[in-house]
Amino acid sequence: MNDLDVVGKAPGFKKPELSQAKLEELPRVKVMDEKGGFRDAEITGERPLTIYVDKHEIVTLMTLGGEPELLTLGYLYNQRIIHDLREIRSIQVDWDVDASVVTTWNGIDGLQERLGQRTVTTGCGQGTIYGSILDELENIELSSVRFSQEIFYNLLKRIKDYNEVYKRSGSVHGCALCQEDEVLVFIEDVGRHNAVDAIAGKMLLEGMNGKDKLFYTTGRLTSEMVLKVAQMGIPILISRSGVTQMGLELARKTGVTLISRAGGKHFLVYHGFDTLELDAKPSL
């Protein structure tokens, strides 16, 4: 994402027109508890959203619907269907037909072929981008960073206030783009890949650079998660949960610092032992 910080701020640049089709309300349904009592409960929204680019159907994502335009943008970017924000003329989401309609200025070269290519590398939720993106690893260069433990603890405190939908109905993953101890963007979705994609969309749209950012997720640090964050140029990845073997391997290859089990004063660093300046070690 080398051009993220340039494109959005280029003089004369015209931002794409985006609809504002955020779904806010959580659906409520009747549930029965273990005593046979009935009550209302909120459940996590999950709706299909089919992305069309210049009238070609690209994919159907299941989403909470909180940021459908950013999700569309980030998905197209992370799948390398678009390479530059300037290609996009507009994104119009219409929940009446569960569609996100993308119009480009000049069409996408070889769109059909690229859709065909994805087949083999797509792996039932795990290896979605495995084959194609792994080749790009060589080109990733992350800046080496130092980060204060004290500021890190402040950040963890602030993140705790987010996770709204999670607290209300569960069943979502939250992802946050952070700088120092501030949460710049927080997005929840039923799949964490959607949340990551939506944040990538936000970065692309706003011309944000990843190199001085941290990425937080409630979900596990799997291979795909690490790859996506590395692609976004973000050097530090934090999770409330654990790390998988391939996630760690890819962190070592790309240089992403991996901090897991982060909550309260606790955390475990899996890669990048020098990144945190331990200036606020808890007393025994």
Site residues for a copy of itself, 198-217, by CB under 8 A, read none
- What letter represents residue 236's amino acid? I
Output the smallest distance, CB 115 to a copy of itself, in A: 6
Q: Which of residues 162-191 bind a copy of itself (CB under 8 A)?
A: 169-171, 190-191
Of the residues 16, 75, 214, 229, which one makes contact with a copy of itself according to CB under 8 A: 75
Of the residues 3, 5, 44, 211, which one makes contact with a copy of itself according to CB under 8 A: 44
For the chain, the C-alpha Rg in angstroms (whole number) is: 19
Q: Is residue 193 classed as helix, strand or coil in its secondary structure?
A: helix
Chain length of the chain: 284
Of the residues 92, 149, 154, 163, which one makes contact with a copy of itself according to CB under 8 A: 149
Output the smallest distance, CB 282 to a copy of itself, in A: 6
14 makes contact with a copy of itself (CB under 8 A): no
Residue 56's DSSP bridge partners are 53
Give the dihedral sign, CA 257/259/265/266.
negative
Rounded CA separation 236/180 (Å): 11
113 makes contact with a copy of itself (CB under 8 A): no
Residue 27's H or E segment, with its range, is none
Q: Which of residues 77-106 bind a copy of itself (CB under 8 A)?
A: 79
Of the residues 24, 25, 34, 96, which one makes contact with a copy of itself according to CB under 8 A: 34
144 makes contact with a copy of itself (CB under 8 A): no
In SS3 terms, 146-204 reads as CEEHHHHHHHHHHHHCCCHHHHHHCCCEEEEEEECCEEEEEEEECCHHHHHHHHHHHHH
Output the smallest distance, CB 153 to a copy of itself, in A: 9
Q: Which of residues 242-261 bind a copy of itself (CB under 8 A)?
A: 242-248, 261
Q: Is residue 101 classed as helix, strand or coil in its secondary structure?
A: strand
The residue to which tokens 């001085």 are assigned = 212
Output the smallest distance, CB 117 to a copy of itself, in A: 9
137 makes contact with a copy of itself (CB under 8 A): no
111 makes contact with a copy of itself (CB under 8 A): no
